[in-house]
Structure 1
Amino acid sequence: MASAEASADAVDGKSARWPLIVGVLLALAGAAGGFYLVSAGLILNGESKPVAKAASDPSLPDVRFVALDPMLISLGPKSNNRHLRFTAQLEVPSASLSEVQKILPRVVDVLNSYLRAVETGDIENPAILSKLRAQMLRRIQIVTGEGRVRDLLIMEFVLN
């Protein structure tokens, strides 16, 4: 009986070692493969992908920004005495800077008129800001003339 128990323990010991041996061999193979890939430069070769161009890049457009005076717009009778505080800047090509500055009062007038006419529910919707921005930019471009204003940057859009 003792010899039968001894042979059973020996069989269990060999079967318990087999997964351990396979695991060690697979770990060594993975380490060797990883070492080869890194040393051959196939992965983690230290070369970084190009990042966005620096601000000093001469290919950037020649633009200036014209700050509009902050505006306080009353939102009409249905708005429960609410006001909209609005501040923006215009992106203008450098060649058109003086022309746009001369007609800035017209720009403020068209923005004030448009924002006063917008429904209060539309202004309260956060998803509508891009649509409002596009509408305001189009009106500004009509007032200033085509090609004089590239973009409208909204700096402040706060309901009181």
Structure 2
Amino acid sequence: MRDTDDSADKATGKPRRGMGKMGWIATLILVLALGGGGFYATFSGMVGGGQDMANPIPEQGEAGGYDTATSDAPSYLELDPLMVSVGGAGSVRQLRFRAYLQLDDLRTDVASLQPRILDIFATYLRAISVARLEDPTALLHLRAQLLRRVQLLTGPNAVSDLLIIDFVIT
């Protein structure tokens, strides 16, 4: 009978293993083509955020500083300080509160809503017990609650964060 197994080496009778020269050459060409294509796609800005890799340094403005109009630096709105009476009806304790709002969009008119924002903050802070305010973990909860209330008033994309600067109970 005739042996029909083409993968066996006729001289030794062992099966061939590996890809051979043509397989390695094809793999090398494929790797070089994919690597070059990936480099070009990243370098030209088609992939990876679109930053121009040929000129990664930002343009300088006329005054010698960098152009801040295209910068992704956040803007902040300082809220007026707030003094709130806390505790029961006969209590003389007060909470001093000062905060900043981190704005996502400079075009939003959040500054005109500042009296309403302060009213929302004062109403919420007066409703919370002094024991809850003195809890060390309460600040995280309060921050999240106040931020949620501001976002309901201004819209979901106007304010991204609330930064509490002063939180003192006297």
Structure-1-length-normalised TM-score: 0.59
Higher relative contact order at CA 8 Å, sep ≥6: structure 1 or structure 2?
Answer: 1
Task: Indicate the residue corresponding to 2:145 in structure 1.
Answer: 135
Q: Percent identity?
A: 38
Q: How many residues align?
A: 103
Task: Indicate the residue corresponding to 2:14 in structure 1.
Answer: none
Q: Is the 8 A contact 2:98 2:165 kept in 1?
A: yes
| Runs (5+) with no aligned partner, structure 2 | 1-65
1:61-106: CA deviations, max 9, x gaps? 3421000011000003268311000000000024344x10111111
Larger % of helix: which?
1
Q: Is the 8 A contact 1:72 1:84 kept in 2?
A: yes
From 93, 116, 122, the counterpart of 1:106: 116
The AA in structure 2 aligned to 1:80 is S
Q: Is the 8 A contact 1:79 1:120 kept in 2?
A: no
User: 2:130 aligned with 1:120, yes or no?
Assistant: yes
| Runs (5+) with no aligned partner, structure 1 | 1-55
User: 2:86 aligned with 1:75, yes or no?
Assistant: yes
From 106, 123, 133, the counterpart of 1:95: 106
Structure-2-length-normalised TM-score: 0.55
The AA in structure 2 aligned to 1:114 is Y
